Structure 1
Amino acid sequence: MSKIKFELEFPIHASPTMLYQYFSSPSALGEWFADNVNSRGVMYTFMWDGVEEEAKRLANKNDERTRFKWVEDEDPNSYFEFRIQIDAITKDVSLIVTDFAEEDEIEEAKLLWENQIGELKQTIGA
């Protein structure tokens, strides 16, 4: 069964450069996204409560976006991505999170992201 793509937008009061650091470096991801994060090249190991999950960084564009794919995920089209969007008129900064989930798990996945981004905002004081 293929997963369904969804996007969430979170207004963030931070500079794009600072925000980008929080989803592009293992140490910063370990401050809000997981208990600990290590990387070897494009391979990242995320740890939560002693459980490890591996992801491959598929794309990275400075001060703009980072895209990962869970190694264990069998859906060839799924990934999760953090992308910075800047409003052309107001210059407001938003973080766009793209992820995939089974149809019956989308609401739970959205809640998880809202909690995670809440942690991020608290971490950076946004």
Structure 2
Amino acid sequence: MPLSATRSKHRFVHEFPVNASPKILYPYLASASGLRQWFCQDVIMIDHHTFNFVWDNQHHFAELTSQRTNRSARFVFLDTNRRHTPDANYLDFTIESSELTQEYFLRVVDYSEETDDLELQDMWDSMVQKLRELVGG
């Protein structure tokens, strides 16, 4: 997800039903050990807030800029020098619940150069299916 000045950004938002409590789900969204099990090839925690996401043997650094335990995590991607950039790519994970049905949902916001909603939907469906298998939901 490297930043590119020549490509426009796209905000993909989708909610996925996940039948697991926030206590079980949250560590898979906000920790390197949890994320590496379903999200990408590897995730390495550099320091308390900086993560190295590895896709196809390429390193992408991100900062965990906000988090609410058992609720949400936001990763903002950094440039190759590990600095913030204007209009940076980011990922937001939020655990939401339906008071009516008592179901839990994972709301994903993927802000990046990828503009093909069908491709993004397929990619996220596949990753979230792997996550569901891990959390039993």
Is TM (by shorter chain) over 0.5? Answer: yes
1:111 alignment partner in structure 2: 122
Match of 1:4 among 3, 7, 10: 10
Answering whether residue 112 of structure 2 is matched by residue 96 of structure 1, we say no
Aligned residue identity for 2:77:
W
Native 8 Å contact 1:2 1:75 kept in 2: no
Gaps of at least 5 residues in structure 1 are none
Match for 1:17 among 10, 17, 23? 23
User: Contact 1:44–1:54 at 8 Å: present in 2 too?
Assistant: yes
Residues 1:41 and 2:48 are matched in the alignment: yes
Single out whichever of 97-106 and 112-121 deviates more from structure 2.
97-106
Partner of 1:86: 97
Question: What's the CA shift string for 1:96-123, capped at 9, x where partnerless?
Answer: 0011244743322222111111111122
Q: Does the 8 Å contact 2:90/2:112 carry over to 1?
A: no
- Dislocated runs of 4+, deviation >6 Å: none
**In 2 relative to 1, CA 46–102 (structure 1 residues): closer, same or farther, beyond 3 Å?**
closer
Alignment partner of 1:68 is 2:75:
yes
* Matched AA of 1:81: D
Equivalent residues of 1:9, 1:94 under 8 A apart: yes
Partner Cα separation in structure 2 for residue 74 and residue 107 of structure 1? 27
CA distance in 1, matches of 2:53, 2:60: 5
Q: Report the secondary structure of 2:26's partner residue.
A: helix
Task: Note the aligned Cα RMSD (angstroms).
Answer: 2.0
Percent of aligned pairs with the same amino acid: 29
Within 1, Cα distance between the matches of 2:86 and 2:132? 30
Give me the TM-score of the superposition, normalised by structure 2. 0.81
Cα drift, residue 89 of structure 1: 2.0
Distance 1:50 1:87, change over 3 A: same
Does 2:59 match 1:52? yes
Name the structure with the higher helix share: 1
Consecutive unaligned residues in structure 2, runs of 5 or more: 1-6
Cα drift, residue 64 of structure 1: 0.4
Could you tell me how far 1:94 is from its partner in structure 2?
0.4
Q: In structure 2, the residue corresponding to 1:33 is in which secondary structure?
A: coil
Instruction: Report the TM-score when normalising by structure 1.
Output: 0.87
